Amino acid sequence: MDKDAGSIERVFNSGAGAIVTKSIGLKPRNGFPNPTVIELEHGILNAIGLPNPGIDNFKEELLKLKKLNIPVIGSIFGSDYKEFVTLAEKMQNYGVNALELNLSCPHAKGYGLEIGCDPNLVKEITFKVKKSTKIPVFVKISPNLANITEVAKSAEEGNADGIVAINTVKAMKIDLELQMPVLSNKIGGYSGNAVKPIGIRCVYEISKNIDIPIIGVGGITTGKDAIEYFMAGASAVQVGSAIYYRGLDVFKKICDEIKIWMKHHEYNNLSDLIGAAHK
């Protein structure tokens, strides 16, 4: 629901505060063959393989959104800092409000996590993108890292304005009848409620070690899930898979549930909850 102007407008009208685009690269990319997305008992497994129309075709969608005044965070992926900088400059020219660097997609060769696991590359890419743009730059990182705080720190050292955590968790499903992995790419990324404890732990660990804001994502389905992320140290949250579990009005539902919880617990400012678990 994040690929074309019409969908983004619909999600915005359903109560989201801002919309992160599908990750966009330099050239059109079909992604992997199907099966690419399946549902498991406790979450969603996908390896869509970064399908996107390419930045030049995506321009028209972004210009439409600009006219509608919808806050858009442009997600981009590249194989080196040069690609990231080109994409970032174009995104900024087409009017996005902020950038998200996808350094964490777990299933595309030469992109995402393959770069995002190297703290030096993360720092270099972030630094170069920051230098060539004026809008806020967030770095999205992966839970599939032993050195997650080190990577988050290197993004901070590269002058990132915030960290987005987490992307999907590397996972696989084997079909018993066919005795083979279901996804064509075999390995995919797991999302939905099952990954929430992993996301919470990542946000908690990162926020102990860095000073820039964190955007929490991973399994958020209810207002209470969002509050748990705030307590772990997130200043804002993103919602993906829950669109499937609770419908498009999930954004409004989550906002309402946060308000109810705060009222019940006599909180007036959300900021009082951020990092509350770090006592």
Partner 1 sequence: MNYPKVLKIIETRNETSDIKTIMFEYPEDITPGQFFMIWIPNIDEIPMSVSFIDKKIKGITFKRIGDATNALFKLKAGDKMGVRGPYGNGFKINGQRILFVAGGTGIAMIAPSVEKAINKEIKTNVLIGAKNKSELFFENRIKKYGAELFVSTDDGSQGYKGFVTDLAKEKISNNKFDQVLTCGPELMMKKLFELSQNISFQASLERYMKCGFGICGQCCVGKGLRVCKEGPVFNEKTLKNIEDFGVFKRDASGRKIKF
Ligand X SMILES: Cc1cc2nc3c(=O)[nH]c(=O)nc-3n(C[C@H](O)[C@H](O)[C@H](O)COP(=O)(O)O)c2cc1C
Catalytic residues: 105
Structure tokens at 106: 């777990």
Residues 48-77 that bind partner 1 (CB under 8 A): 48, 51-54, 57
Pick the piece of the chain touching ligand X (CB under 6 A) from 87-95, 170-178, 213-221, 263-271. 213-221
CA atoms within a 13 Å half-sphere pointing along the CA-CB vector of 75? 21
Encoded tokens for 254? 């989550």
Cα distances (angstroms) measured from residue 44 to each of 62, 109, 145, 195, 196: 28, 21, 20, 10, 12
Helices (H), the chain: 5-13, 55-67, 81-93, 113-116, 119-132, 148-157, 196-209, 223-232, 242-246, 250-264
The one segment of 9-17, 86-94, 125-133, 259-267 that binds partner 1 by CB under 8 A? 9-17
> Which two three-digit tokens encode residue 135?
């809008």
Span 206-235, contacts to partner 1 by CB under 8 A: none
Residue 38 CB, shortest distance to ligand X, in Å, is 10
Position among 175, 249, 256, 272 found at the interface with partner 1 (CB under 8 A): 175
Contact 47, 36 (CB under 8 A): yes
Binding at 102: pick from ligand X, partner 1, none (beta carbon under 5-8 Å per type) = ligand X
Q: How far is the CB of 145 from partner 1 (least distance, A)?
A: 25
d(CA 116, CA 108): 12
Which of 49, 83, 102, 137 touches ligand X by CB under 6 A? 102
> Can residue 153 be called a binding residue for ligand X (CB under 6 A)?
no
Footprint of partner 1 on this chain (CB under 8 A)?
Answer: 1-4, 6-11, 22, 28-31, 33-41, 44, 46, 48, 51-54, 57, 175, 177-178, 180, 182, 184, 241, 243-244
